[in-house]
Amino acid sequence: MSLPSRLELLSVLDRVSLSVCERMGFDEDTTTQVGMGVVEAGTNAVQHGHKRDASLNFEIEFHMYPDKLEIHVYDRGKGFDMQRVVPDVTTPEHLFDMRGRGIFIMRSCCDDVTFSFSDAGTHCVLVKNRPAGRIAADA
């Protein structure tokens, strides 16, 4: 799926995420977590990767497996220094920071979040494991 870098289109991404989570058999809480993580990854692609340049599209892929859901988000941004990411924005010294919550939110909502950077741009992978005993036959 390809979307122009416009924040108002992130609701489309949220609806697609909801549909995919339903197919995966995720419960409401898990579906909400996935949606929050996906929208945050999309927000980062639009705001940081593409600097809100609507002429640039970012790409999203949903990969459904029997035991997990993987979401891949690609943008053409140059990336960032992972060493500068605040690991816990809830600590007193970071509680009132105006920025820097996106990766924390993604990590809180998903079981695994990874980033890779290349000349082509930034690739973010979000993973949400299917709860034990909820393997779907159609995933």
Tens digits of residue pLDDT in 20-50: 999 999 999 999 999 999 999 999 999 999 9
- Helix segments in 1-139, DSSP class H: 10-24, 28-44, 102-109
Query: What is the pLDDT at residue 63?
Result: 98
Give 94-114 pLDDT, tens digit per residue.
556 666 667 888 999 999 999
Summarize the confidence of residues 53-75 as an average pLDDT.
97
For 28, 64, 65, 109, the CA distances from 129, given in Å and listed in that order, are 14, 10, 9, 11
Q: Which residue has tokens 């941004």?
A: 77
CA distances from 110 to 24, 70, 96, 99, 125 (A): 15, 10, 24, 20, 10
* Nearest CA among 125, 103, 102 for reference residue 115: 125
More confident site: 14 or 81: 14
- Higher pLDDT: 136 or 84? It is 84
pTM above 0.75, yes or no: yes
> H or E segment at 55?
none
Q: Which CATH class is domain 2-129?
A: alpha beta
CB-CB contact of 139 with 24 (8 Å): yes
